[in-house]
Amino acid sequence: MAEEFDVVIVGGGITGSAMGIVLARTGVRVKILERDKVYQDRVRGEWMASWGVKELQRLGLADILTDAGGIFVNRFIPYDENMPPEKAEDFAFDIPGLTPDLPPTLCMGHPAMCETLNQAAIAAGASVNRGVKSIKVQSGNEPSVSYRLEDADVTLRPKLIVGADGRNSVVQRQLEFEMRQDPPHNLLGGMLVEGKTSWPQDAFTAGTEGNIHFLIFPQGEDRLRLYLCYDFDDRARFTGPDREKNLLQAFRLKCLPMGEEIAQCKPISAFHSYSNEDHWTENPTKPGVVLIGDAAGHCDPITGQGLSIGLRDVRIVSDILAAGDWSEAAFEPYVDERLDRMRRLRFAGQFVTKLRAEFGEDARQRRARASRRTNVEGYPSPNPSALIGPEVLPAEFFEQKTIDALMAP
């Protein structure tokens, strides 16, 4: 007779495996179905914002990642063409302490994070299958999941299916969740590199020079994750056989003192790029099914929110399940909170896109004005929400008039 499970999670990435650990720890019989036998580097999140680290701590998962090599990154240096490097270093700030109890950010390789959490789910008592194919899901009062594993066809009938299978979610598609998206804003590409540089392993940066928005995150030892955000018009420069070389050379920037050292680094991963846009849904639940993480809709990755969003989903959904009512109505607080959370993060992300990933002289001046108004003149800005959490700032920070005031000539 087939084993019985209370919850089947489709997708054993960071969100799915974290959910598996939390449920298994409370005695829920949980199965995780993961497509990949080996986690691939597809260029995904490797920097977790402080509010995500806070979620990780609340879920009791932070030590699992730091014990496996995750590093805390405390400092932000605002390198940008609008100021010389020494001035950017003077303006560098520590993230812990921005708000009470705010932890630092955390960096770790994405495949390593997936593997570590997936192993921890097994250790907590979750049943995990990797290499699962041909998933078919049905919602309803008696939901079901069918799949192929090795040569066997399997069907499970849990009480609840959790769709955690990422941005191309089959659960989302098969059950015809109504998704919305805005037009693509630009392209974002990334690559892992190694080499001796003087980049401080406790700091990250995000800035703009010329027609690129660059981001640098330390990954421990001699490794750095580099991301570049650029216009669709610039696509040819970062495709084809020279794309890795061109990405490295793009870091030779006047505003970046270690740019030359970074350009000498060796690529140690593939370079993938993606179009940046927001995807969301008014309701990530159906009878017997709840979507979490990217499967439930994701923000433009420019502000690096996906990992934090997924972990908050895990906390809210697992708290609801722990309260014992697993009906669709019980998930309403999750539906409402997520909708407003994604709206605020989308708003902040679109502001950052306009500020940092639109290029040219007018855009440079606008960025300088907005930066002065926020940092010197004390104008409200939605920007810190990407570090401290979407719920912390007052509602009016997420209104168009706030952005208009920051951007005005």
Ligand X SMILES: Cc1cc2nc3c(=O)[nH]c(=O)nc-3n(C[C@H](O)[C@H](O)[C@H](O)COP(=O)(O)OP(=O)(O)OC[C@H]3O[C@@H](n4cnc5c(N)ncnc54)[C@H](O)[C@@H]3O)c2cc1C
- Among 5, 8, 9, 12, contact with ligand X (rule: CB under 6 A): 12
Report the residue number, 386 or 406, with the smaller CB distance to ligand X.
Answer: 386
Least distance from ligand X to the Cβ atom of residue 362, Å: 27
When asked if residue 55 is in the footprint of ligand X (CB under 6 A), the reply is: no
The nearest distance, CB 104 to ligand X, in angstroms, is: 14
Quote the CA–CA distance of 289 and 321 in Å, as a whole number: 12
**277 touches ligand X (CB under 6 A):** no
- Residue 230 CB, shortest distance to ligand X, in Å, is 12
The residue among 302 and 406 lying less far from ligand X, judged by its C-beta, is 302
Q: How far is the CB of 17 from ligand X (least distance, A)?
A: 8
State which of residues 165, 209, 277, 278 lies at the interface with ligand X (CB under 6 A). 165
Site for ligand X (CB under 6 A): which residue of 31, 44, 185, 315? 44
Q: Is 166 a binder of ligand X (CB under 6 A)?
A: yes
**What one-letter code names the amino acid at 33?**
L
CB of 146 to ligand X, least distance (A): 12
Classify residue 8 by burial, with Cβ atoms within 10 Å: 0-12, 13-18, 19+.
buried
Stretch that binds ligand X, among 1-9, 166-174, 362-370, 388-396 (CB under 6 A): 166-174
Chain residue at closest Cβ approach to ligand X: 306
| Contact flag: residue 47 with ligand X (CB under 6 A) | yes
* Residues in 321-340 at the binding interface with ligand X, rule: CB under 6 A: none
| Contact status: 185 vs ligand X (CB under 6 A) | no
Exposed/middle/buried for residue 401 (C-beta within 10 Å: 0-12, 13-18, 19+):
exposed
Tell me, letter by letter, the H, E, C secondary structure of the chain. Answer: CCCCCCEEEECCCHHHHHHHHHHHHCCCCEEEEECCCCCCCCCCCCEECHHHHHHHHHCCCHHHHHHCCCEEECEECCCCCCCCHHHHHHCCEECCCCCCCCCCEEECCHHHHHHHHHHHHHHHCCEEEECCEEEEEECCCCCEEEEEECCEEEEECCCEEEECCCCCCHHHHHCCCCEEECCCCEEEEEEEEECCCCCCCCEEEEEEECCEEEEEEECCCCEEEEEEEECHHHHHHHCCCCHHHHHHHHCCCCCCCCHHHHHCCEECCCCEEEEECCEEECCCEECCEEECHHHHCCCCHHHCCHHHHHHHHHHHHHHHHHCCCCCHHHHHHHHHHHHHHHHHHHHHHHHHHHHHCCCCHHHHHHHHHHHHHHHCCCCCCCCCHHHHCCCCCCHHHHCHHHHHHHHCC
Q: Which of 6, 25, 29, 36 binds ligand X (CB under 6 A)?
A: 36
Interface with ligand X: number of residues (CB under 6 A): 39
Compute the half-sphere exposure of residue 235: CA atoms within 13 Å on the CB side of its CA: 7
Single residue of 7, 102, 120, 135 touching ligand X by CB under 6 A: 135
How many residues comprise the chain? 409
* Residue nearer to ligand X on the CB measure, 44 or 315: 44
Asked whether position 48 contacts ligand X by CB under 6 A, the answer is yes
Q: Establish if 190 lies at the interface with ligand X (CB under 6 A).
A: yes
Enumerate residues 290-319 that contact ligand X by CB under 6 A.
Answer: 293-295, 298, 301, 304-308, 310
Among 46-54, 80-88, 251-259, 365-373, which window interacts with ligand X (CB under 6 A)?
46-54
Closer to ligand X by Cβ: residue 206 or 335: 206
State the nearest-atom distance from the C-beta of 399 to ligand X, in Å. 25
- CB of 369: closest distance to ligand X in angstroms? 27
Residue 11 contacts ligand X per CB under 6 A: yes
Distance CA 191, CA 281 (A): 30
Among 10, 30, 256, 314, binds ligand X (CB under 6 A): 10
Is 13 a residue that touches ligand X (CB under 6 A)? yes
Note the residues at the interface with ligand X (CB under 6 A).
10-16, 33-36, 43-48, 114, 132, 135, 164-167, 170, 188, 190, 274, 293-295, 298, 301, 304-308, 310
